[in-house]
Structure 1
Amino acid sequence: MEERENKEIKIARFSSCRGVAFEINPNRSNPFAIGSPPKQERIGTWLWLPWTRNSSFKVLPQPHTISPTRSRASSHFCDIDIDASDFEVEFIAEVQDIEKPDKANVVKVQKLLPKSDPPRRSRLSIILLDQGFTCYKGLFLVCMALNVVALALSAAGCFPYAKTRAALFSIGNILALTLCRSEAALRVIFWLTVQTLGRPCVSLRIKTATTSFLQSVGGIHSGCGVSSIAWLAYSLVLTLKNKDKTSPEIIGVAFTILSLILLSSFAAFPLIRHLHHNVFERIHRFAGWMALILLWLFILLSISYEPYSHTYDLTMSKVVKKQECWFTLAITILIIIPWLSVRKVQVNVSSASSHASIIKFEGGVEAGLLGRISPSPLSEWHAFGIISDGKKEHMMLAGAVGDFTKSLVSTPPKHLWVRTMHFAGLPYLVNLYQRVLLVATGSGICVFLSFLLQPSKADVCLIWVAKDIELNFGREIIEMMNKYSKEKVIVHDTAISGRPNVAEVSVNAAIKWNVEVVIVTSNPEGSRDVLRACKRANIPAFGPIWDS
């Protein structure tokens, strides 16, 4: 009888996350309900995990909010991809440990197996279909609508200025899209926003609306990109109708510019951008540079061409009087500025495990800023959150998920190319608020750690969910978190305590700490779940919008 009980206990365990065993509680109404996490020692109000016994680092228990769920439903919180075949192999491996199972045990195993797994949603489908109508899409539609109306009025003869200056409208759209992606310009805009609106007297509604807008300026970039194509095509049609007033060289250059912009826009289509990001980046960069060079040629040819004599006469007085020249000059300056800050610097790369690496640089950096690094500056750039105490050095935590980040672990470089001009993103806007909840999973913690290490305008609280924290991320990351108030931090190691419902934990923590806003950094599925839960609870929340 005792042997049979042991067999039943074996059947009641399975590994739904590699290396993490959960227990099935047969007394629950749901046969797949997960039992209590491994027993931990409680001291006072803190939960001490095995890897914290020799340190002061503690994890706040959440007995009512942390509820491990099915493996497939929350796999995205462990930074691990699990498919149906993995699930079956691991489950069957546990079952096969049982020697000579009897019929009763076989029946129990069959009951435990799920009847059907929910279909897995791809990362791309979540990005494209599950975000709903966002501010990003709204800005895209507004830009398109304004340009379409102007085009229609021009074609109908109600907007004669646009009809005679169609190329200028195309260049104007290119200037706007460049401005929306200029790291130098956005750094200034973000700083001014924090300085002017980051005050207690400014209403929360204004702050959240501003955050949503600044986070979504990529919608203006995309809308103006498509609009510039429409205006350039319109300009070419008008030019071809009056061939006698232009030259074949001007028409040829204009067609080439149109082709390059079309190619660049096609490469930015989500299916290409997300599935083949390096291809998108290189096409976008080199096609854009070539189009800019040809744009200067187009303008100079257009200005200097004399239709009556079919000759070219270029003078400086003609150049300075043309708006097209000033717009193009502004575009050129915005594109050049970030490249003036490119440097090859010495780095120190260390890896606590094969899952992530820590890259250290000299010099302190303000909290909330991000940086770009590259092994080859003309081919690819990678953006990471910056961890810094604002004094002598800063570092980046790079999860090993792609070719470049994996190479940092396998063959750590001694030097990397960097852009010393760091740029502002959503994390920088934490400074707009008085009290903020930061939610991170896996290596996403890197964009928030600086707020724990150096003073900031906002009073921040943090939730971090990851697997095998000390093993995968190293002791140094844990020591950084030890420096912050333990009353404002929840760290959940899924290898020890199972997988939590991060969305539920986030909402409960936001209510408990009475925060103004929640900012999450996770993968598409994890971010989506937290944002939806916060929206249902009427808590303002922001996360990555995956537009680049």
Structure 2
Amino acid sequence: MLDALSRTVVPPRPALWRRWRALPLFSYYNRLAGLVLLGNGTFLWWWPRIDVQVLSQMVLINLSLAILIRQQYVINALFWLATRVPITWPLRIRRSAAKVYHLGGLHSGAALAATAWFAAMMQAQWVQVEVVASSTLWLGSALLGLLVVMVIMAQPWVRSRFHNAFERVHRFAGWSALGLFWALTLMASSERPTDLLHNGAFWLLGLVSISIVLPWLRLRKVAVEHIRPSSHAVITRFAHTTPFAGSSTAISRHPLLEWHAFANIPAPREAGFRLVISRAGDWTGRFIDALPRHVWVKGITTAGVANVETLFKSVVYVATGSGIGPVMPHVLARKVPIQLIWSTRSPRATYGDALVDEILRAHPQALIWDTAERGKPDLVQLAYGAVQACGAEAVICIANQALTRHVVQELEARGIAAYGAIWDS
């Protein structure tokens, strides 16, 4: 069947005016970010009547949205809600609901708006320097500096090039910013402490603080076992819990410095789960070479993009290399009819006979393309051909960033519902 799919003729992309929704600029992520910024922008009509108190409220509302939308319980709840859409509903509704994983657009839009409102508030306070306490001005200025640095580090080209720095800045600068918000709130209520419980800012900051602290309350060091089929990949087994299919777990060897999330692979009727970790950088390289006996985990298992499969009657999965990790639990769970296309170099030599055989037992029709023998395939062609052959309603692609974006954009340009990670954090 692979040979037949590789001969599929992919139609040319329609005219630009017919496929504008598939362009990256108009992604659901950008639409959600734009919606938040537009909503905030409407308040500019009342700019002459906006005082420092209103500015402070706008900062806290946007800050709360930016943080809470990243909370693991909230993410899981939104995925659960989106996937409640009945499969009998029109495809256009289901394919829109499946874009739930673009919720990071709300985070980005709200974070930008919060920073802008806070800058406006600080400008207004510096204008009234005679009546504003100097401690408030200097703490506020330090807080604004932290927010601006976080916004700069979150820009895609900076985040991708300096990801470790981005992660640490967001963690430590974020904690510092939260502390400064608390300091400013308590200072504002210092003259009348009894009013604090009637202050909305107090309760919003409390909710945000609980959201941030909660994952760390679940921090634990757990024992792990490894199978290293090759120098390129390791299969790590955990026994401390059994997560749901389609979730991910963040692990670390130094919990204050660096975290990496991997897709959980639970097997039906088996306790525990596995992670497939391939050599893709310094951290994973050291992990594979050293094979630690314990790692740190925190938070709760979090839903990922492939969970949207239940919104469709049938799905084509496209995976490359260790991208089989996020796909494999869905292959094993068999909640919906699927067709798997896995492109990787020497799958048995790299990931082991046991893993490949497990996939083929669960899905005998799986199409495994060995790039060592056949070279790199045209995944758009293979995915398009599989959709036509199987009548699938959607394609879910798990590959590297550039390839995922290419496959998703090319298929969506041709009217096929396509989904893949968006690397927004």
Q: TM-score, normalised by structure 2?
A: 0.91
Q: Distance in 1 between matches of 2:106 and 2:160?
A: 19
Q: Deviations over 1:199-245 (max 9, x none)?
A: 22222211211222x22121221111111111111111222233344
The code of the aligned residue for 1:331 comes to: V
Q: Which moved more, 1:521-530 or 1:254-263?
A: 521-530
Q: Does 1:279 align with 2:162?
A: no
Greater helix proportion: 2
Q: Does 1:205 align with 2:92?
A: yes
Q: Does 1:530 align with 2:423?
A: no
Q: Deviations over 1:277-332 (max 9, x none)?
A: 0000000110000010111110010122xxxxxxxx342x3111111111111111
Of all paired residues, the percent bearing the same amino acid is 28
Q: Does 1:239 align with 2:125?
A: yes
Report if aligned partners of 1:343, 1:420 keep a CA contact under 8 Å in 2. no
Q: Does 1:144 align with 2:37?
A: yes
Q: Does 1:333 align with 2:210?
A: yes
Q: Distance in 2 between matches of 1:451 and 1:478?
A: 15
Tell me which residue corresponds to 1:169. Answer: 58
Q: Secondary structure at the match of 1:392?
A: coil
Q: Does 1:221 align with 2:114?
A: no
Q: Deviations over 1:425-450 (max 9, x none)?
A: 21122222221111101110100101
Report if aligned partners of 1:386, 1:446 keep a CA contact under 8 Å in 2. yes
Q: Secondary structure at the match of 1:486?
A: coil
Q: How does 1:121-520 map to 2 (within 5 A)?
A: 131-150=24-43, 152-157=44-49, 160=50, 164-194=53-83, 196-197=84-85, 199-212=86-99, 214-304=100-190, 313-315=191-193, 317-362=194-239, 363-390=241-268, 391-419=270-298, 421-456=300-335, 458-487=336-365, 489-520=366-397
Q: Deviations over 1:99-143 (max 9, x none)?
A: xxxxxxxxxxxxxxxxxxxxxxxxxxxxxxx84432212222222
The code of the aligned residue for 2:164 comes to: N
Q: Distance in 2 between matches of 1:360 and 1:412?
A: 12
Describe the shift of the 1:204–1:295 C-alpha distance in structure 2 as closer, same or farther (beyond 3 A): same
Q: Distance in 1 between matches of 2:32 and 2:413?
A: 24
Q: Secondary structure at the match of 1:398?
A: strand
Report if aligned partners of 2:318, 2:398 keep a CA contact under 8 Å in 1. yes
Report if aligned partners of 1:387, 1:450 keep a CA contact under 8 Å in 2. yes
Q: Distance in 2 between matches of 1:237 and 1:382?
A: 39
Q: Deviations over 1:475-526 (max 9, x none)?
A: 2211220221323x21111223333221111111011111111110111332
Q: State the superposition RMSD in angstroms.
A: 1.9
Tell me which residue corresponds to 1:113. Answer: none
Residue 254 (structure 1) shift: 1.2
Residue 275 (structure 1) shift: 0.6
Report if aligned partners of 1:389, 1:453 keep a CA contact under 8 Å in 2. yes
Q: Deviations over 1:384-431 (max 9, x none)?
A: 111111431211111101111111221110000012510112112222
Q: Deviations over 1:325-349 (max 9, x none)?
A: 1111111111111112211000112
Report if aligned partners of 2:395, 2:416 keep a CA contact under 8 Å in 1. yes
| Structure 1 consecutive aligned stretches of length 4 or more whose deviation exceeds 6 Å | none
Describe the shift of the 1:420–1:292 C-alpha distance in structure 2 as closer, same or farther (beyond 3 A): closer
Matched pairs, number? 409
Q: Distance in 1 between matches of 2:6 and 2:128?
A: 71
Q: Distance in 1 between matches of 2:299 and 2:123?
A: 44
Q: Secondary structure at the match of 1:381?
A: strand
Gaps of 5+ in 2: 9-22
Report if aligned partners of 2:327, 2:398 keep a CA contact under 8 Å in 1. no
Q: Distance in 2 between matches of 1:420 and 1:291?
A: 21
The code of the aligned residue for 1:528 comes to: R
Q: Distance in 2 between matches of 1:538 and 1:283?
A: 40
Q: Deviations over 1:130-163 (max 9, x none)?
A: 844322122222222222331x224233xx4x65
Q: Distance in 2 between matches of 1:532 and 1:491?
A: 23
Q: Distance in 2 between matches of 1:399 and 1:438?
A: 19
Report if aligned partners of 1:368, 1:429 keep a CA contact under 8 Å in 2. no
Q: TM-score, normalised by structure 1?
A: 0.72
Tell me which residue corresponds to 1:62. Answer: 2
Q: Which moved more, 1:531-540 or 1:255-264?
A: 531-540
Structure ID, larger Rg: 1
Q: Secondary structure at the match of 1:500?
A: coil
Tell me which residue corresponds to 1:82. Answer: none
Q: Distance in 1 between matches of 2:413 and 2:127?
A: 56
Q: Secondary structure at the match of 1:546?
A: coil
Report if aligned partners of 2:59, 2:118 keep a CA contact under 8 Å in 1. yes
Report if aligned partners of 1:360, 1:395 keep a CA contact under 8 Å in 2. yes
Q: How does 1:81-96 map to 2 (within 5 A)?
A: none
Describe the shift of the 1:64–1:455 C-alpha distance in structure 2 as closer, same or farther (beyond 3 A): closer
